[in-house]
Amino acid sequence: MQVNMLEAKSQLSKLVRAALAGEDVVIASHGRAQVKLVPIATESGLNSPGSLKATLQAETSQALDAAFSDAVDAQVRDLFTS
């Protein structure tokens, strides 16, 4: 489907739905094709929004737990008692 700029402005949501459905949507100016609407392919395996924050919090928690282990406490004690 090819539409002119004015039609594209007034029917953008319809054109986006058509592109998402697999139809070729071309926007023309003065009868000459200028751009083509294509859907953005999502990559499989992507996480939902906010999942990185949860991952970073878990990693930070593990790092903090490791910083307060018995071995670290012994090292600090040795530094101050030597």
* pLDDT tens figures, 28-62: 999 999 999 998 876 556 666 766 677 677 667 67
Tell me: pLDDT of 14 over 90.
Answer: yes
DSSP 12-69: HHHHHHHHHTT--EEEEETTEEEEEE-PPPPPTTPPPTTHHHHHHHHHHHHHHHHHTS
Q: What is the pTM of this model?
A: 0.49
Of 69, 47, 45, 44, the closest CA to residue 56 belongs to: 47
List % helix, strand, coil for the chain (3-state, nearest 5): 55, 15, 30
**Better-predicted residue by pLDDT, 24 or 62:** 24
